[in-house]
Structure 1
Amino acid sequence: MNDNLRILKPLFRGFPIIILVMVLAVLSAKKYLSYVTPMYESTAKLKLADTEEGVPSANLFKDLDVFATANKIATEIEVLKSSKLMEKTIAELPFDKEIYRKGDIRTVELFGNSPITIEGTFQTEKALDKRYGLNVISKKEYQFFYPDAKKGIQAIFGKPLKIEGGTLLVSLNEPYIQSKNDAKIIDSYEIEFLSTQKLLGKINKDLDIVPVDKDVPVIRINLKSNVPEKAALFVNKLAEMYIKDYIESKFKAANTTVDFLKEEINSSNKKLSASENNIQNFRDKKNIVNIRQETETDLRKISQLKIEQTNIKMNLEAIKELNKYIASGKKNYLDLAPNFEAFTDLLSTEMVKNMKKLQADKKDLLLTYTPEDEKVKIIDAKLKDLIDYQVESIKNTEKNLQIKYNGLSNDIAESEKAFVGLPEKEKELTILNREFSLYETNYNFLNSKRIDAEIARSAKIAFHKIITPADVSQTPVSPIRSIIIVVAAILGMFGSILIIYLVHFGKAKVNDEFTIEKNSTIPIALSTPFIKQNENIKENFLKEAIQMELKGMLQEQSILVISSYDQAKDHLFHSKNLVEGFINQGRKVLVIDATGQLEGGFDAQDYLNFSNPKYLSYTQSVFQNEIQQKMENYELCVLHNQSIKEDKLALLFMSLATQNLIVLDSRKTAEKTIIKMELLKDEFKLPNVWFVLNRAGYNPNVLVEIKKIWNKYTKKSSC
């Protein structure tokens, strides 16, 4: 706790400085704010069309905006930042010229509230991006100054002024002057015509285009400007130009697409017509109506013919067998039993029945008549006729079947000729049909796309829209007055604290007992506080005399040497008042003065002055003998020593001491003195060395110190 308070003591001491510096910092910040040019920010929000959601996702609007795609927000941001779109935007705005009112401390841009107007035409870009001066002398005349020029060019309002690289026309802004009764015209101005490159650079420096959220198709366009109207105008115009550029790009793309599609459709139409003619010519040449149907018909026909041929062949084989069988047994025809399965017509059946009947009748007649009988012969004749007819009929039937069979074979062979070269025809027709199908598909596709493109060209709309237009900002975003003042106060506070501690550690004074104990093994005998009132001095030193006695420092006929390092006056206060304290205790004290500063302060018989230069030649033993002779009638000897830094007799007197008191002033003595005394003690074997801390715990306010210095200075001045 004490250590923390010790660290804070310099802070308490320099508290007035901290307050003063903070006040000065705040005043400086306010002064700065009164001169600095404020920056205003305007923001516009732009919603991008989303083909997956909302109105653009409807089928109707998908057709209208066929060129819309699922937007990537980062891509659209880069489009907004593109120099092409920026150039289109600034071309729509009066940002290419700037007029400033020139003051003694700051220059303010006039935008929309300038009492003068300027127009310029330039033959070279060298005349751009330069600050020209303009001093209005009266409502009729003005002076024009080139950059860094001392001498101006006299000119008249409303008349062209030729300058290096161009021509200027400066006029009075009559509407503004009439609207402002207190408009100040006669003043100093600066004008600048900006090149596109510089204007883009100025805008890009303060332009910020970011998405509201990575998953939300909304873009925020921010611009900072010292003129709030400029910021609002630009972000709104940029959003408008983005939408306008999108519509124009879409129209151009659709128009180009329509023209391209028309050319392709004409070309495709020609190819399609040629393909149709090729198919027609091929069908005419090959006599093709429908290969598949014709093939199926021919196959069915051949199949039917082959079935008929098979049936006829079976009948023909049966007839041939029958004919062979009859031919082999022709003489005994009636004894034959042929298989008439292949000869089953009604006539043959009836003839066989008649023959069997005649044969039965003959058998009946032979029972009565002889074979030579006329009746039997008649029946034989009838049988012979029927048998001959039957045999001939079988032969004719065989011939007829053979003819039919041969005819069917010829028909089948002829029908099968239709399949000769059929795969080749099918292949060629397939190729022609495929070519036609490709051209037809391409033609239909192109027509469909042409319709879409014509719809897109006709529908001059976009689903991008400005959902929040930018307003003219009334409050500057930088500098933020409250933050600047607070930061200035904080910086002033920390800066002053830093300086206080730098000075504190730079001076490196003794300050307190802790510093002594940290740097030396020499004990502290006394800690004398800062005594404000003289009546308290006696009481304090009586108390210190008692403390010394209790510590065993005051023996019979002890020699007490009181010293300081820098100047003898640093320990004069202690030497004088300790002697008086010992005397007030009733002690008989011999006062030895090595500086002459105590002369006249004590009785002459109790005072011994060693300040004369003759004593510089005395040795230690001489001083020791002389002091011992004087000490015979005294209880205590107090020697007011010279400063140790002068080192004439100081160390010699200290070597004679019974107790050595070295006075350290908390506000004056340097910290390094402690280490020096430690080294001197070890080097010269000084006996019983003690430190005395003067003004212990004294931490005066800086104002008090300044007051003391001031009083001291005024006293010197009065003298």
Structure 2
Amino acid sequence: MNENLRLLKPFFRGFPIIILVMFLAVLSAKKYLNYVTPMYESTAKLKLADTEEGVPSANLFKDLDVFATANKIATEIEVLKSSKLMGKTIAELPFNKEIYRKGDMLTVELFGNSPITIEGTFQSEKALDKRYGLDVISKKEYQFFYPDSKTGISGKFGKPLKIKEGTLLIGLNEPYLESKNDAKIIDKYEFEFLSNQKILAKIDKDLDIVSVDKDVPVIRINLKSNVPEKAALFVNKLAEMYIKDYIESKFKAANTTVDFLKEEINNSNKKLSASENNIQDFRDTKKIVNIRQETETDLRKISQLKIEQTNIKMNLDAIKELNRYIASGKKNYLDLAPNFEAFTDLLSTEMVKNMKKLQADKKDLLLTYTPEEEKVKIIDAKLKDLIDYQIESIKNTEKSLQTKYNGLSNDITEFEKVFIGLPEKEKELTILNREFNLYETNYNFLNSKRIDAEIARSAKIAFHKIITPAEISKTPVSPIRSIIIVVAAILGMFGSIILIYLVHFAKAKVNDEFTIEKNSTIPIALTTPFIKLKEKTKDNFLKEAIQMELKGMIQEKAILVISSYDKAADHLFHSKNLANAFKNQGRKVLVIDATTQLEGDFDTQDYLNFAHPKYLSHTKSVFQNEIQEKMKNYDLCVIHNQSIKEDKLALLFMSLATQNLIVLDSRKTAEKTIINMELIKDEFQLPNVWFVLNKAGYNPSVFAEIKNLWNKYINKTNS
């Protein structure tokens, strides 16, 4: 905490200077603000159409604005900055001419409030971008000046004035003068006709187009200008021209697209018709109605024939097997047990029943008659007829089934001939159909886009819109008076503080006890405060005499040498007052003066002057013997030494001392003196060296020091 206070002392000491510098800085800032040209800013916000959200996302409006896309904000910002769009904008604004009222310190542009009007026609662009001068002499006459010209050309209001590369017509702004009765006409003016390149350069320097947020399709257009009306006019017109240009571009694109689509539709229609004719010719040539249906029908017929053939084949195989079985046992036909599942007609079944009945009847007759009996033979004859008929019937059935089987095989073979060359037909028809579908899809797509483009061409609307139009700014954005003044005050404050500390560290004075203790091992005996009132001097030094006694510095017959490094006057105050303090304590004090500065301040019997040049030749032992001789009748000897820097007798007296007091002035003594004394003490082996800090804790104001310097200067001048 003490260290912080020590560092703050220069600040508190120089506080009046800080206040003064801050005051001057604020005055300078205000003076600067009176002459600086203020800049005004106007802002317009433009919302871009977003096909994903909001009104444009509806299908109806998507159709109306077929070319609307999810706008890339950065791309649209570049469109707004494009020279083409900027050129269209400035073409509709009165920015090609600037008129200024010229003052001694400040030139102000007059926009819409000029008492004069200036029109010009030029044969060459060399006349543009030049600042011409105009001195209005009266309400009828004026003086025209070329740039950097001291000689004027006389002219009259309302009459053309021929100049290099053009003609000017200068007149009075009657509507403005009628509205402003106190308008000042007679004055100095300047005017300039600007080329498009210079207008664009001036605008581009102060134009800022940014997005509100990377995910929000809103663009902020800012422009700074010394004329607030100009800033508001330009940003509003730029946003308006952006929307207008978008609509025009959309209409041109839609119109061009419609024409292109119509031509493409005609070409696509011809190709589609040719493709339809190719399919028809191929079907007629190949006799194709529907390949798929015809193929499915033929496959179904072949499948049915094959099923029928399989059934007949099964029956045929069964009949053949039956026929072979009967043929193998023809002589014993009635003993056979054939499987007649393959021969199941009703007649055969009935014949088998009859044969079984005749066989039973024969068995009954054989019980009575012999085989030769006529009745038995008749039965045998009947059986034989039935058996022969049955065998023949089976053979005929086999032949019939074989014929059917062969017929079905022939039919299947004939139907299968239909599929010969079918893949090639399908391939060719697929190619023709694919070509037709391609042309048909293209034709339908082009017609759909043509309808969309015609709708877009008819709907001259855009979903970009100005959500916040720019307004004429009432307060400038730069310079901001409050900030400039505050910054000037802060800079003045910090500048003065830095200067104060630079001076403080450059002077490098002793300042306080901490500085002494930091730079030396020599102890501090006394710290004498700055004493403003003389009546307090006695009490202070009595207190210091007691402190020295308590510290064991004052002994019987002690020799106290008081010195300083630069000037003997720096320790005169302590020499005189310490000697008096010891006398006031009742001690007999011998005062030895090595400078004559104490002459007349003490009784002659107690005062000894060693300042005479004759003492320069004395040795240490001579001084020592003389002092000891004088000290026989005294308790204490106080020597007011010379300055150590002069180095004549100062070190000699210090070597004789019982106690050496080195007075350091906190406001005058340089910090390096402490180190020098440390070196001197070690080099010359000086006994019992102590520091005395004079004006301890004294931190006078700068104004007080200035006053003291001024008083010294006056006194020196008077003397």
| TM-score, scaled to structure 2 | 0.81
Distance 2:175 2:412 in 1: 109
Matched ranges for 1:124-523 at <5 A: 124-283=124-283, 424-523=424-523
Runs ≥4 in structure 1, deviation > 6 angstroms?
A: 293-311, 404-420
3-state SS of paired residue (1:99): strand
**How far is 1:405 from its partner?**
14
Partner of 2:681: 681
Q: Residue deviations 1:402-458, cap 9 Å, x none?
A: 9x9999999999999877765555544443333222222211111111010010011
Q: Residue deviations 1:134-157, cap 9 Å, x none?
A: 322233333333333333333343
Partner of 1:385: none
**How far is 1:656 from its partner?**
1.7
**How far is 1:571 from its partner?**
1.1
The 3 A distance-change label for structure 1 pair 526 and 50 is same
Q: Residue deviations 1:276-320, cap 9 Å, x none?
A: 333444455556555566777888999999999999xxxxxxxxx
The reply to whether residue 606 of structure 1 matches residue 606 of structure 2 is yes
Distance 2:139 2:15 in 1: 58
> What amino acid maps onto 1:260 in structure 2?
F
**How far is 1:680 from its partner?**
0.7
Distance 2:166 2:528 in 1: 85
Report the count of equivalent residues.
644
Distance 2:587 2:301 in 1: 166
The 3 A distance-change label for structure 1 pair 679 and 302 is closer
**How far is 1:229 from its partner?**
0.9
Partner of 1:64: 64
3-state SS of paired residue (1:527): strand
**How far is 1:461 from its partner?**
0.2
Partner of 1:541: 541
Partner of 1:554: 554
**How far is 1:459 from its partner?**
0.3
Partner of 2:583: 583
Partner of 2:693: 693
Distance 1:50 1:440 in 2: 33
Matched ranges for 1:598-677 at <5 A: 598-677=598-677
The 3 A distance-change label for structure 1 pair 298 and 497 is closer
**How far is 1:203 from its partner?**
2.1
The 3 A distance-change label for structure 1 pair 150 and 616 is farther
Distance 2:432 2:518 in 1: 111
The 3 A distance-change label for structure 1 pair 411 and 105 is same
Partner of 2:371: none
**How far is 1:476 from its partner?**
1.7
Distance 2:556 2:147 in 1: 93
Partner of 2:375: none
Question: Which stretch has the larger CA shift, 235-244 or 602-611?
Answer: 602-611
**How far is 1:161 from its partner?**
4.1
Gaps of 5+ in 2: 312-344, 346-398
The reply to whether residue 54 of structure 1 matches residue 54 of structure 2 is yes
3-state SS of paired residue (2:662): strand
Q: Residue deviations 1:49-71, cap 9 Å, x none?
A: 12122211112111101111122
> What amino acid maps onto 2:509 in structure 1?
K
**How far is 1:201 from its partner?**
3.0
Q: Residue deviations 1:341-366, cap 9 Å, x none?
A: xxx9xxxxxxxxxxxxxxxxxxxxxx
Q: Residue deviations 1:211-237, cap 9 Å, x none?
A: 333333222222222211111111111
The 3 A distance-change label for structure 1 pair 275 and 535 is same
Distance 1:659 1:408 in 2: 155
The 3 A distance-change label for structure 1 pair 158 and 281 is farther
Partner of 2:326: none
The 3 A distance-change label for structure 1 pair 432 and 691 is same
Distance 1:68 1:114 in 2: 45
Distance 1:117 1:4 in 2: 68
The 3 A distance-change label for structure 1 pair 268 and 617 is same
Distance 2:676 2:430 in 1: 118
Distance 1:599 1:298 in 2: 156
Distance 1:42 1:210 in 2: 14
Gaps of 5+ in 1: 312-343, 345-397
The 3 A distance-change label for structure 1 pair 537 and 268 is same
Question: Which stretch has the larger CA shift, 678-687 or 644-653?
Answer: 644-653
Work out the percentage of aligned pairs sharing the same amino acid: 86
> What amino acid maps onto 2:519 in structure 1?
N
Distance 1:408 1:581 in 2: 161
Question: Which stretch has the larger CA shift, 599-608 or 221-230?
Answer: 599-608
Q: Residue deviations 1:365-393, cap 9 Å, x none?
A: xxxxxxxxxxxxxxxxxxxxxxxxxxxxx
Partner of 1:32: 32
Partner of 1:348: none
Cα RMSD for the two superposed structures: 3.7
Partner of 2:330: none
**How far is 1:549 from its partner?**
2.1
The 3 A distance-change label for structure 1 pair 267 and 636 is same
The 3 A distance-change label for structure 1 pair 715 and 302 is closer
The reply to whether residue 8 of structure 1 matches residue 8 of structure 2 is yes
3-state SS of paired residue (1:571): helix
The 3 A distance-change label for structure 1 pair 3 and 421 is closer
| TM-score, scaled to structure 1 | 0.81
**How far is 1:108 from its partner?**
1.5
Partner of 1:563: 563
3-state SS of paired residue (2:670): coil
Distance 2:260 2:97 in 1: 44
Partner of 2:92: 92
Partner of 1:119: 119
Distance 2:409 2:687 in 1: 158
Partner of 1:715: 715
Distance 1:561 1:305 in 2: 152
Distance 2:33 2:652 in 1: 67
> What amino acid maps onto 1:209 in structure 2?
I
